[in-house]
Structure 1
Amino acid sequence: MKLHIVPARTGMAWVKLGVRAFWRQPMALAALFFMTMAAMSLATMIPLVGPAIALALLPSATLAMMVAAAQASQGRFPMPAVLLVAFRTGRERLRDMLTLGVLYAVAFLGIMGLSALLDGGQFAQVYLGGAPMTREIAENPDFQRAMWLSMLLYLPLSLLFWHAPGLVHWHGVPPVKALFFSIVACVRNFGAFLVYGLGWLGVFLLGGLVVSIVSALLAVAGLAGSMAGGIMVGAAMMMAAMFFTSVVFTFRDCFEPPYTPQQEEAPHDNQPPSHPGAPPAGPL
């Protein structure tokens, strides 16, 4: 496995590739993203351990979207079975993915625990869905400090787990090493990831502007209310699905492919889209 250092402009290419791959199979990818979110929401309903189980499923859900995006970019239709890709690639990989999930859940809950030291757990309850957000809560200085601390600590956590599911699945890297290689790749390609983040920020702002205009037009036509709310939720889900579709391209360009050009002629579920330096595995 070899780490690639890419120029900063590659970050915008990742955004474009994610959007393009999503629109190759928009219904399939949007449905898969919705099913992963629904599964995690259902998991939170399990008494006592529900939120922890939902958090532990996130690396597997991320991997499922990466594999689905790889298939879409190669001109194939991602089937619902892709959601179980982390659980059907052998006992060793399954154990490693479960370990990743446990590590993520423990780390995330640890961040929530630290934030609780500042506001008595109010931010954690709101974030995990255990309490409603009100104006009084949002304006509470302790709540704001807990929120900013959580955001600050979550950044390195997200970098640790950004590439880890792909490294475990495609390269067979042990979980702890995968976390290390993931954050190293993100730090070494800081410029590209900064542009990538700014690019997606622009996409979300533009999408929000379009939704606001559509909602205003519906209000003028007397069709506001539930219809506008549905459009906002649908647009948010679609943009989130596009974002997760783009993750596989960040992985593809940061690491040497773990397969040969001959294998690329017949790509399968266990292969990401090829690196730009290798023969293409399918149309991008």
Structure 2
Amino acid sequence: MTDDNAASALYEILNDVRSSKRQQIGEAWADVLDCKVGTSEFAQRHAEVVNLFRRVHSFVNAMPEGTQRDIYLRYAPAWHAGVVPRGNWDSPQNPPAKVISQSNLDQLGGVMQVLSITSADDFTDEAQDALVRGLKEWKDLLDEAGLPPGISEQVRSQVAHIEWLLANVSLFGSEPVVRESRNLIGLGVEVLQLVPVKARKVGAAMAYIVYMLGLVHAGIDHTAGILEGLNEVSAQIEVITDNPPELSAESNEEIVDAEFEEDPPGESDLDTSD
């Protein structure tokens, strides 16, 4: 994977929009994010670009005195305006070239040189494989009947967004992948509460995600908290069912501490029957 940081990712995206041959800003953004403006999918993906700006601004704001902090902060509004262009996105009077000036973009390039975050490199092939397998487990589960439509669509949308972030991890880095994977764990806990009969299969899908979070540096500190939450849900399930699923504290510890030391769980390692 390439050595990217938030500033270089934001620079690349704004440069792609600015250099677009399209007549309208909206068309340029649609090409860059590979979905139509005005859709829920576009809003979700564009929010990731806004998050890149937030990360860049936070970094610049935290720079020590005596550096170019104050200079860069003067350009921050221009970078924000590039991400969230003012005016009509559908008007030929606002072509993509007007999104941001070359000089303002060059200043962002300066931050790109200063900022040395290699979050994409933290996302190892092993972590990526575990996440892919976990997302596949989720999609297989969603193809079955039994999940309430509302939560099913939430999970399906979350899985699709994580897949897009994973496909673009060299650009956005691992931070949004980890963040949205944690959110998927939260949805999994909700599914366990709503449909405890699916606990085994949901637990298998969640196990891969928890393992991935333990591999990625940004998620290590949160793994214990995630497992604690799963144990609490397991205790609730045990109260309301005559045949509680095997999602106890002991089984969770085995998942992350024993079985995953050699390989992520395969089909033979976890019972995914109802």
Q: TM-score range by the shorter chain?
A: under 0.3
Tell me which structure has the larger Cα radius of gyration: 2
TM-score (norm 1): 0.23
